[in-house]
Amino acid sequence: MTDTAPAIELKGISKAFGPVQANKDISIRVMPGTIHGIIGENGAGKSTLMSILYGFYKADRGEIYVKGQRTEIPDSQAAIAAGIGMVFQHFKLVQNFTVLENVILGAEDGGLLKPSLAKARGVLKQLSEEYGLSVDPDTPVEALSVGHQQRVEILKALYRQADILILDEPTGVLTPAEADHLFRILDNLRAEGKTIILITHKLREIMDITDTVSVMRRGEMTATVKTAETSPQELAELMVGRKVLLRVDKEPAKPKDAVLSVRNLRHVDGDGVERLRGISFDLRAGEILGLAGVAGNGQSELLEVLGGYRDGEGEVLLNGAPLPLSGPGSDGQARRTAGIGHVPEDRQREGLIMPYTAWENTVFGYHHDPAIQRGAFMNNAAIKTEAAAKMERFDVRPPDPNLAAKNFSGGNQQKIVLAREIERNPDVLLIGQPTRGVDIGAIEFIHQEIVRLRDLGKAILLVSVELDEIFALSDRIAVMFDGRIMGERDPNETDQRELGLLMAGVTGDAGEDPIKTVDQSLDEKEHRAAGR
Q: What are phi and psi of 249, to 5 degrees?
A: -80, 115
Task: Kindly state the smallest distance separating residue 396's Cβ from other proteins, in Å.
Answer: 17
Which residue of 85, 290, 344, 483 would you call a contact of other proteins, by CB under 8 A? 344
Q: Are 4 and 32 in contact (CB under 8 A)?
A: yes
Are the C-beta atoms of residues 256 and 286 closer than 8 Å to each other? yes
Contact 438, 42 (CB under 8 A): yes
Considering the complex, what minimum distance in angstroms separates the CB of residue 309 from other proteins? 5
Query: Contacting other proteins (CB under 8 A), which of 153, 163, 205, 360?
Result: 360
Pick from 188, 222, 333, 520 the residue near other proteins by CB under 8 A: 333
CB of 212 to other proteins, least distance (A): 34
Q: What span, in angstroms and rounded, lies between the C-alpha atoms of 432 and 391?
A: 21
Cβ nearer to other proteins, comparing 90 with 242: 90
Does residue 398 have a cis bond before it (omega within 30 degrees)? yes
Q: How buried is 62 (Cβ within 10 angstroms: 0-12 exposed, 13-18 middle, 19+ buried)?
A: middle
Q: Which stretch binds other proteins (CB under 8 A): 147-155, 350-358, 470-478, 509-517?
A: 350-358
332 makes contact with other proteins (CB under 8 A)? yes
Residue 309 sits in the site that holds other proteins (CB under 8 A): yes
Among the listed ranges 84-92, 336-344, 438-446, 487-495, the one in contact with other proteins (CB under 8 A) is 336-344
- Closest to other proteins by CB, 258 vs 378, is 378
Max CA distance (Å), the chain: 82
Q: Is 353 in the site for other proteins (CB under 8 A)?
A: yes
Nearer to other proteins, 152 or 419 (CB): 419
Positions of E strands within 5-100: 8-17, 20-30, 35-40, 61-66, 69-70, 84-87
Segment interacting with other proteins (CB under 8 A) among 64-72, 96-104, 119-127, 364-372: 364-372
Q: What is the DSSP letter of 492?
A: G
Among 1, 2, 3, 18, binds other proteins (CB under 8 A): 18
Q: How far is the CB of 481 from other proteins (least distance, A)?
A: 25
Closest CB to other proteins among 338 and 510?
338
Long-range residue pairs from 403-406, CB within 8 A, at least 24 positions apart, any chain: 403/357, 403/358, 404/354, 404/355, 404/356, 404/357, 404/358, 405/352, 405/353, 405/354, 405/355, 405/356, 405/357, 405/358, 405/361, 406/354, 406/355
Cβ-Cβ contacts under 8 Å for 245 (sequence gap 6 or more): 444
Task: Compute the least distance from the CB of residue 254 to other proteins, in Å.
Answer: 32
Smallest distance, other proteins to C-beta of residue 303, A: 10
Looking from the CA of 278 toward its CB, the CA atoms found within 13 Å total 1
Scan residues 386-425 and list those touching other proteins (CB under 8 A).
407
Considering only 351, 410, 434, 483, the residue that binds other proteins (CB under 8 A) is 351
* Nearest distance in Å: CB 457, other proteins: 25
Tell me: does residue 339 bind other proteins (CB under 8 A): no
Among 44, 177, 145, CA closest to 506: 177
Burial of 512 from C-beta contacts in 10 A (0-12 / 13-18 / 19+): exposed
Considering only residues 365-384, where is the footprint of other proteins by CB under 8 A? 365, 367-368, 373, 376-378, 380
| Interface residue with other proteins, options 55, 83, 137, 308 (CB under 8 A) | 308
**517 is an interface residue for other proteins by CB under 8 A:** no
Instruction: Determine the Cα–Cα distance for residues 243 and 210; give it in Å rounded to an integer.
Output: 23
CB of 344 to other proteins, least distance (A): 5
- Give whichever of 324 and 487 is closer to other proteins, judged by the CB atom: 324
Secondary structure, 3-state, 421-478 = HHCCCCCEEEEECCCCCCCHHHHHHHHHHHHHHHHCCCEEEEECCCHHHHHHHCCEEE
Q: Quick count: other Cβ atoms within 10 Å of Cβ 385?
A: 13
Q: Does 114 sit near other proteins (CB under 8 A)?
A: no
Q: Which of 356, 393, 448, 468 binds other proteins (CB under 8 A)?
A: 356
Work out whether 61 is an interface residue with other proteins (CB under 8 A). no
**Residue 325 sits in the site that holds other proteins (CB under 8 A):** no
Quote the least distance from Cβ 380 to other proteins, whole Å: 7
Query: Using CA atoms, how far apart are residues 215 and 235, in angstroms rounded to an integer?
Result: 7
How many residues touch other proteins under the rule CB under 8 A: the total is 35
Cβ atoms within 10 A of the Cβ of 186, count?
21
Question: Does 58 interact with other proteins (rule: CB under 8 A)?
Answer: no
Segment near other proteins (CB under 8 A); pick from 64-72, 301-309, 458-466, 471-479: 301-309
For other proteins, the closer of residues 427 and 519 by Cβ is 427
Is the Cβ of residue 131 or residue 366 nearer to other proteins in the bound state? 366
Q: Give the dihedral sign, CA 55/92/175/518.
A: negative
Q: Which is nearer to other proteins, 252 or 375 (CB)?
A: 375
338 binds other proteins (CB under 8 A): no
DSSP-based three-state secondary structure for 243: coil
Residue of 146, 354, 389, 515 interacting with other proteins (CB under 8 A): 354
CB within 8 A of 328, min separation 6: which ones? none
Residue 324 near other proteins by CB under 8 A: no
Q: Say if residue 263 is exposed, middle or buried (CB neighbours under 10 Å; 0-12, 13-18, 19+).
A: middle
Q: Is 351 helix (H, G, I), strand (E, B) or coil?
A: helix
Kindly state whether residue 267 participates in binding other proteins, applying the rule CB under 8 A.
no
Number of Cβ within 10 Å of residue 424's Cβ equals 15
Binding site for other proteins (CB under 8 A): 16, 18-20, 307-309, 331-336, 342, 344, 346, 349-356, 360, 364-365, 367-368, 373, 376-378, 380, 407
